[in-house]
Amino acid sequence: MQLPVTLKPKSEPEPDIAVVRIDANEYGDRHPTPDEILLIIEVADSTLLGDRQHKAPIYARASISDYWILDVNTQQVYVFREPTPDGYQQEMILAANTVLAPVAFPNITIPLNQLFLQNAF
């Protein structure tokens, strides 16, 4: 949680949550790179606009296949998929009562309302 990921050319954003492939070296001497990132989640209170307009294009250019923003004010989840150099081709806004499966784990469904529980993380 809130540790950097390494994106090209020289970017190291610190997402609130990054689900990454397990590395035997536990990323002791480096940060996860895009091919190791399975899902990035940002939790937005006052940062929704920046997460959508600034971070989403950065993650899309890095080919992050699954990027979610949890809007705590409206209890909605913004889901970005199908990255291209010009941005994400798919953007969905889902209500908290929706169930969603991450791209990397299609057999695992997550009730989005559980992500908004006060002590979910």
CATH number of the domain encompassing residue 32: 3.90.1570.10
Asked whether residue 85 is assigned to any structural domain, the reply reads yes
Alpha-carbon separation of residue 107 from 52, 60, 99, 101, 102 (angstroms): 27, 24, 12, 7, 9
User: In degrees to the nearest 10, what's the CA dihedral of 68, 70, 76, 77?
Assistant: 10
Asked whether residue 98 is assigned to any structural domain, the reply reads yes
From the list 71, 76, 68, the residue with the least C-alpha distance to 102 is 68
Output the tens digit of pLDDT for each of the chain's 121 residues.
445 455 665 665 678 888 888 765 665 665 667 778 899 999 999 999 999 999 999 899 989 999 999 999 999 999 999 999 999 999 999 999 999 999 999 999 999 999 987 655 5
* pTM of this structure: 0.84
In the chain, the number of structural domains is: 1
Asked whether residue 10 is assigned to any structural domain, the reply reads no
Domain span at 84: 17-116
Asked whether residue 6 is assigned to any structural domain, the reply reads no
